[in-house]
Amino acid sequence: MRVEGIVQGVGFRPFVYSLATSLGLSGLVGNDMDGVFAEVEGDADVVERFLVLLEQRAPPLARIERVTTAGLAPTGSAEFAIVASAAAGADGAARRRTLISADTATCADCLAELDDPADRRFGYSFINCTNCGPRFTIVRDVPYDRALTTMSGFPMCDRCAAEYQDPADRRFHAQPVCCPACGPTLTMLDAAGTATPTTGPPGTDPIAAAAAVLRAGQVLAVKGLGGYHLAVDAASEAAAAALRGRKHREDKPFAVMVADLAAARELVEVDDAAAAMLTSPRRPIVLLPRRGSGTGPDTGRVAPSVAPGNRQLGIMLPYTPLHHLLLRTFAGPMVLTSGNVSDEPIAYRDADALERLAGIADAFLVHDRAIHMRTDDSVVRPFRGRETVLRRARGYAPEPLPVPVTFTRPVLACGAELKSTFCLGRGRHAFLSQHIGDLENAETLASFTDGIAHFRRLFDIDPQIAAHDLHPDYLSTRFAQDLTGLEVVGVQHHHAHIASCLADNGETGPVIGVAFDGTGYGPDGTIWGGEFLLADLKGFERAGHLATVPMPGGAAAIRQPWRMAASYLAAAGTAPDGLAVMTRNEQSWAAVLTMARRGINAPATSSAGRLFDAVAALLGVRDAVRYEGQAAIELEQLADTTVVDWYPAAVDDRDPLRILGMDLVRAAAADLVAGVARPVIAARFHNGVAAAITEVCAELRDRSGLGTVGLSGGVFQNVLLTERVATQLAERGFRVLVHHRVPCNDGGISLGQAVVAAARTAPG
C-alpha cells in the first residue's frame, strides 16, 4: 500500500502503526521520496477495515491524495514495525514527490503543556509537535528531516530524542522538536541591537521585557515564523501613529493580533464562519466588520491610526507559542504588521532585520532558529460564509492546489507585477508560491528568483514551459523570456484572471468571464481592465468591455485619481458648475483636459479601477493615492449599503459590447451638484456598475448560450460590488463562480497562466 499527499512530518507513520496494531495486523510502515508505504498482513476483512479507517482517522495535518494497494505474499511475521526512511521512491528513482506541509498554529495539546508548570516545556516559546509548528519556513531541502531544516544546529537532548524515536509519542519524528534544554532561546535586544541582560527563570524574561516595551508605547520588532513583525499597543494612538510614521505607511490598515476569540469579539463581528477562520490551524488575518458597524465603538480598544476610516479590521489569533506568551503577558490587542519599510519585502534574516528595522523598532525580541523561507501572514475574509483568500502565504503555501487540467510537461508561470506570485505545475498539481510582493525592486526580484529555485528543488520540478504576462516590461515577463531552453507561452492578463477563477473552482469553462481590475496589457495597444471574455482555459474572445477613456499623464493618472475624474467628465460631456474636484485641482485641470483630448501621453483604457478612481475623486474621497486601489477601497467604505437604486449605464450594442461608464460619472456629478449625500451617490454608483455587468452578461448569454459567469480581478475584492453582482446574476438564472482558494487580485495570475499554458500545450 502507498499513501501519497501530505503524509510526512504530520504523524502519519505512528498513526498507521497504532491503527494497525490496534486491529491486530502485522507488517511495516515507512517514508520514502513518494510519501508513506506500508505492508499490512492479516484477515482480508480486517485489512479492508484498516484501509477505511486510514482515510477516516488520518492525523489533522495530513492531506491524503491517493492510496494505492497491491497484494503481497504473506510473511507470517507477527510484528508491526516502523522502518527507516528510504532515500528513493517506489520505483527506486530518487525523485522528490513528498509534499511539505504549511506552517501550522500551536495545537491544543502543546498549549496545555505550555501552561502546565509541571511540564518541562512550561512557558517555552518553541514548543511544537507532529501536529503543529514550523514547517515550510524552516525547510531547506527534502526529504523533510531535521538535518535539512534550520533546526539542524540544535542537537536533541536525550529526553527529546526519546520522544522523537517513540512511535507512541506525539512528537515521534516531529523534526522541529525541542525543549528549553536543547532548543532555540529568546533574546531581547535594544534599539541598537545589543542584547539586554534579563534575570529570572530562563525563557520567561525576554517576554516580560517585550511586553513592557509594548506597554511603554514603544515599537517592538518580533521575530515570527516567516519574518519579522513590528508590534505596538493597538490601544495607543501615539504608538500606532509613531509606527505609521516610521514605517512610511501612511494609510494602509494594520492587522491586530488578540489573545483569543473572546478578545476578537470585542473588536469585530465574529459569526461561526469567521470563528472557524480565526481559529483554523492556518491562522490567517481575517478581515471582519468592526463592532458597531464603523469607526466608533471599538475606539479606545483600537486606536484610530490602526485602520483609519475602515469599516473592517484585520484580526488574527496567536499562531506560535511566542505570540501566545507575549499576548498573555501584555494582556491587550497588539498591532502586528510586517517588519519592513513601505513596499520592501518582510525582513527575515537577523542581521538584515536589525539593519533595516533600525530607526523603526525601539527593541527586538529575537531568537536563534533561522527562518529559511520568507513568508508573510495570509489574509482572508468570509464571503457568504466561505473563506476567500486575498493574500495566500503562511499557513497555506506551499500546499499544492489540485487543478482541472494535467500538466503533461512541467510548467513555471511567472505571474504579473503587483502582488506577485509564481506557480509551478506538475501532473494534476499547482504549487502556487506564497505572496512575494510588488515586483518593482531588486529586493523583491531576488525573493522571486530565490523562491522559484527553492520550489523547483523542494518539489523536484524541472519546468519545460514558461508562462508569462503579455506586458513586455514586467520583470516577471523578462525573467521568463530569459530562461534558456524553455518553451514560452504568453498569456493575456485578464484571460489569466478568468483561468485562475476556473482553476480555483475546479472547472475548465467555457464561461462568461468578467475580469475587472486596475491594469492589464491589452493586445490592441490599449490598457485593459473592464473586460468580458468568453473564455475557457485554452483561449478567449473579448466580447465586451468598458468604453475606453484617455488616462491623462499615463501612470500619473493612476497615482492621481482626479485626472480620471477630469477625463471621465470630459467623456461624459458634462462640467457642472461648483464641482469641488475641479476647484481643488484648478491649476492643472485645463492642461489635463487638453492632454486627454489630444491623446498626448494619454493612453486609452477600459480599466474598471480607473472608473472607480474617477468617481472617488469626484466625491472628494481622494485626489491622490498612496497604494494600489486605495481610492476604490475608500469609495466602497463610503457607500451606504442600504441604498438599492442605481445609475443606469448604456451598453453600446456592437461587437465587442461597450459599457458607457461615463453615464455613471455624469449621473454621479448631477447628484452631487443637486446635494445628494455622498454615501448615497457612492452606493448608486456601485449598484450601477453591478447592473451594467449583469446586463452585459445577459446579452452575452443570448449570443453565446453560456450560463456560467466567472468573476475575477482585483476590483472583486470590493465586497459590496461582488455581493450585488452575484445576487443579480443569480436572480437572472446564472451560475456564478467567485474565487476562494486563490486571490482574485494579481496574486492569482500565475495560477491562471499555468493552467492556460497546460491547456494550450496539451497533446492532441
Residues in touch with Zn ion (CB under 5 A): 107, 110, 129, 131-132, 157, 160, 179, 181-182
Closest CB to Zn ion among residues 322, 632? 322
Residue 638 cell numbers, joined:
463610503
Check binding of 163 to Fe ion (CB under 5 A): no
Count Cβ atoms below 10 Å from residue 65 Cβ, excluding itself: 16
Question: Are 360 and 341 within 8 A, CB to CB?
Answer: yes
* Helices 749-761, 493-504: inter-axial angle, 10-degree rounding: 90
Residue 160 contacts which entry, Zn ion, Fe ion, none (Cβ below 5-8 A, type-dependent): Zn ion
Check binding of 628 to Fe ion (CB under 5 A): no
Closest CB to Zn ion among residues 18, 637? 18
Question: What is 421-478 written as a DSSP string?
Answer: --EEEEEEEEEEPPP-B-TTSHHHHHHHHHHHHHHHHHTT---SEEEEES-TT-HHHH
| Shortest reach from residue 470's CB to Fe ion, in Å | 12
Rounded CA-CA distance 440/448 in Å is 11
| Shortest reach from residue 82's CB to Zn ion, in Å | 20
Omega before 510 within 30 of 0, i.e. cis: yes
Closest CB to Zn ion among residues 150, 712? 150
| Shortest reach from residue 639's CB to Zn ion, in Å | 44
Rounded CA-CA distance 122/115 in Å is 6
| Shortest reach from residue 152's CB to Zn ion, in Å | 15
| Shortest reach from residue 739's CB to Fe ion, in Å | 12
Residue 129 contacts which entry, Zn ion, Fe ion, none (Cβ below 5-8 A, type-dependent): Zn ion
Residue 90 contacts which entry, Fe ion, Zn ion, none (Cβ below 5-8 A, type-dependent): none
Question: Are 527 and 539 within 8 A, CB to CB?
Answer: no
Residue 671 contacts which entry, Fe ion, Zn ion, none (Cβ below 5-8 A, type-dependent): none
Question: Binding segment for Fe ion among 68-76, 129-137, 658-666, 741-749 (CB under 5 A)?
Answer: 741-749
Residue 131 contacts which entry, Fe ion, Zn ion, none (Cβ below 5-8 A, type-dependent): Zn ion
Question: Are 550 and 604 within 8 A, CB to CB?
Answer: yes
| Shortest reach from residue 118's CB to Zn ion, in Å | 16
Residue 517 contacts which entry, Fe ion, Zn ion, none (Cβ below 5-8 A, type-dependent): Fe ion
Residue 499 contacts which entry, Fe ion, Zn ion, none (Cβ below 5-8 A, type-dependent): none
Question: Binding segment for Fe ion among 307-315, 530-538, 699-707, 738-746 (CB under 5 A)?
Answer: 738-746
Tell me which amino acid residue 566 is: A
User: To which residue does cell 449598484 refer?
Assistant: 687
| Shortest reach from residue 170's CB to Zn ion, in Å | 7
Rounded CA-CA distance 136/228 in Å is 16
Residue 746 contacts which entry, Fe ion, Zn ion, none (Cβ below 5-8 A, type-dependent): Fe ion
Residue 32 contacts which entry, Zn ion, Fe ion, none (Cβ below 5-8 A, type-dependent): none
* DSSP H or E stretch at residue 711: strand 708-712
Question: What is 553-610 written as a DSSP string?
Answer: TTHHHHH-HHHHHHHHHHHHT---TT-HHHHHTHHHHHHHHHHHHHTTT--EE--HHH
Question: Are 392 and 435 within 8 A, CB to CB?
Answer: yes
| Shortest reach from residue 746's CB to Fe ion, in Å | 4
* DSSP H or E stretch at residue 335: strand 334-338
Residues linked to residue 382 through DSSP beta bridges, in sequence order: 387
Shortest-Cβ-distance residue relative to Fe ion: 517
| Shortest reach from residue 164's CB to Zn ion, in Å | 9
Closest CB to Fe ion among residues 223, 739? 739
Closest CB to Zn ion among residues 107, 729? 107
Closest CB to Fe ion among residues 8, 750? 750
Question: Binding segment for Fe ion among 325-333, 341-349, 591-599, 742-750 (CB under 5 A)?
Answer: 742-750
| Shortest reach from residue 520's CB to Fe ion, in Å | 5
Q: What is the 3-state secondary structure (H, E, C) of 127-188?
A: CCECCEECCCCCECCCCCCHHHECCCCCCCCHHHHHHHHCCCCCCCCCCCCCCCCCCCCEEE
Closest CB to Zn ion among residues 136, 589? 136
| Shortest reach from residue 493's CB to Fe ion, in Å | 6
User: To which residue does cell 477630469 refer?
Assistant: 566
Residue 107 contacts which entry, Zn ion, Fe ion, none (Cβ below 5-8 A, type-dependent): Zn ion
- Cα distances from 571 to residues 484, 663, 666, 758, in angstroms, run 46, 9, 9, 41
| Shortest reach from residue 171's CB to Zn ion, in Å | 8
Residue 213 contacts which entry, Fe ion, Zn ion, none (Cβ below 5-8 A, type-dependent): none
Closest CB to Zn ion among residues 152, 727? 152
Rounded CA-CA distance 549/566 in Å is 10
Question: Are 698 and 706 within 8 A, CB to CB?
Answer: no
Question: Are 618 and 672 within 8 A, CB to CB?
Answer: yes
Residue 149 contacts which entry, Zn ion, Fe ion, none (Cβ below 5-8 A, type-dependent): none
Question: Are 173 and 9 within 8 A, CB to CB?
Answer: yes
Closest CB to Fe ion among residues 517, 663? 517
Question: Are 608 and 712 within 8 A, CB to CB?
Answer: no
Helix (H, G, I), strand (E, B) or coil at 507: coil
Question: Binding segment for Fe ion among 89-97, 324-332, 447-455, 745-753 (CB under 5 A)?
Answer: 745-753
Closest CB to Fe ion among residues 4, 517? 517
Closest CB to Fe ion among residues 102, 749? 749
* DSSP H or E stretch at residue 518: strand 511-521
Check binding of 746 to Fe ion (CB under 5 A): yes
Count Cβ atoms below 10 Å from residue 298 Cβ, excluding itself: 22
The single-letter DSSP state of residue 293 is: G
Residue 4 contacts which entry, Fe ion, Zn ion, none (Cβ below 5-8 A, type-dependent): none
Residues 496-555 that bind Fe ion (CB under 5 A): 517
Closest CB to Fe ion among residues 623, 746? 746
Closest CB to Fe ion among residues 395, 415? 415
Question: Binding segment for Fe ion among 101-109, 332-340, 729-737, 743-751 (CB under 5 A)?
Answer: 743-751
Question: Binding segment for Fe ion among 78-86, 501-509, 609-617, 739-747 (CB under 5 A)?
Answer: 739-747
Q: How many residues bind Fe ion (CB under 5 A)?
A: 2
Closest CB to Zn ion among residues 174, 564? 174
Residue 628 contacts which entry, Zn ion, Fe ion, none (Cβ below 5-8 A, type-dependent): none
Rounded CA-CA distance 190/206 in Å is 11
Closest CB to Zn ion among residues 169, 443? 169
| Shortest reach from residue 610's CB to Fe ion, in Å | 13
Residues making contact with Fe ion (CB under 5 A): 517, 746
